[in-house]
Copies of this chain bind each other. A is one copy, B any other.
Amino acid sequence: MQAVTSDGGVIIDPAALSERRGSPWDAVRLARDQRRPHSIELIGSVFDRFQELHGDRGYRDDPAVVCGIGELEGRAVVIVAQQKGASTDENIERNFGMSYPEGYRKAIRMYRLAERFRLPLITLIDTPGAYPGPEAEERGQGEAIAKSIQVMSVLRTPIIAVVIGEGGSGGALALGVGDVVLMLENAVYSVITPEGCAAILFRSAAEAERAAMAMRPSAPDLLALGIVDGLVPEPAGGAHTDHIVMSASLKRALVAQVERLDRVPLADLLSARYDRFRAMGVWVDPGAGALAERSRPWWRRMLNRARL
Copies of this chain, count: 2
CB distance from A208 to the nearest CB of B (A): 35
What's the interface size class on A, roughly? under 10
| Dominant secondary structure of chain A at its interface with chain B | loop
Chain B residues whose C-beta falls within 8 Å of the C-beta of A58 in the assembled complex: 58-59, 101, 105, 139-140, 143
A116 to chain B, nearest CB (A): 14
User: Does A278 reach chain B (CB closer than 8 Å)?
Assistant: no
A99 to B: closest C-beta gap in Å: 15
Contact B59 A59 (CB under 8 A): yes
CB distance from A210 to the nearest CB of B (A): 39
Closest to A138 in B: B59
Answer whether residue A57 sits at the interface, using C-beta atoms and an 8 A cutoff: yes
5 contacts between A and B (CB under 8 A): A58-B58, A58-B101, A58-B105, A58-B143, A59-B59
A-to-B contact residues, CB < 8 Å: 57-59, 101, 105, 139-140, 143
Known: A57-B143, A58-B140. 10 other contacts (CB 8 A): A57-B140, A58-B58, A58-B59, A58-B101, A58-B105, A58-B139, A58-B143, A59-B59, A59-B139, A59-B140
